[in-house]
Every structure is written in C-alpha cells, then in structure tokens.
Amino acid sequence: NAGVTQTPKFRVLKTGQSMTLLCAQDMNHEYMYWYRQDPGMGLRLIHYSVGEGTTAKGEVPDGYNVSRLKKQNFLLGLESAAPSQTSVYFCASRQPDASGPYNEQFFGPGTRLTVL
C-alpha cells in the first residue's frame, strides 16, 4: 500500500498562474482533507470531503477550489496563484469514526509550492 501520495512534490509558479495538486489514497478512506502549513502557524484546513462528490470549506478556503470525483482522489486547484499561497500543502485521509473521535489521520508527504 502506498498510503497517501501527493503530486507534485515541488512547484514554482508565477503570480496569476494556475495549477492543480493531486492527492491519492489507496486505503478506501471516506474522508479527505487539504491543509496548508506556514511557518509558525501549524497546519490549517483549506477544504475537506466526506465522500465522493462532496466537498466543504475549511478554515482558509479563499483562493482554492477542490473536487472529489473519485473516492480515492482529492484535487486542490489554484485558479490564479498569489504569493500569499506560498506554503507547504498536505493532504490527509481517514475513515469516519465508528465510535468516539479516534481514527488515525494519514498524511501525504506534502507539496512545497512557491509563488513568485
């Protein structure tokens, strides 16, 4: 099992360019998440999905769009990149809780994005 994979690992964009980050998981998880990590800020939730065809906004959704057309994939799009979107992006997945709040959340390796 590959777990959670992210493509690409690194990317440099110019302001105004667009791109899509791909997250794939092979654990048949229902829930998937996109986070961004900035220095001194910890991880903040951008968007999430609770199943194929569903998406919802997290804490910092502005400037991003997402799609979950297939259960195993969760795409994060930047339509017009801005320098403020320079960050490390993490995808994560987990199963819903059968009981109680524990189910380990598995993270991808991250994508380091720089917007010039």
- Asked if 60 interacts with another protein (CB under 8 A), we say no
Stretch that binds another protein, among 14-22, 51-59, 62-70, 71-79 (CB under 8 A): 51-59
Q: Which of 50, 70, 80, 114 binds another protein (CB under 8 A)?
A: 50
In our burial notation (b when 16+ CB lie closer than 10 A, e otherwise), range 31-56 reads: bbbbbbeeeeeebebbbbbeeeeebe
Distance CA 86, CA 94 (A): 26
- 48 makes contact with another protein (CB under 8 A): yes
Residue 74 backbone dihedrals phi, psi, to 5 degrees: -140, 115
Minimum distance from CB of 80 to another protein (Å)? Answer: 25
Q: What is the dihedral of CA 9, 73, 25, 57, to 10 degrees?
A: 80
Sole binder of another protein in the list 26, 109, 114, 116 (CB under 8 A): 109
Please check whether residue 35 is in contact with residue 46, taking contact to mean a CB–CB distance below 8 angstroms: yes
Q: Which is nearer to another protein, 69 or 100 (CB)?
A: 100
Using CB under 8 A as the binding rule, whether residue 42 contacts another protein is answered as yes
Residues lying near another protein in the complex (CB under 8 A): 31, 33, 40-45, 48, 50, 56, 58-59, 88, 90, 92, 96-97, 100-102, 104-107, 109-110, 112
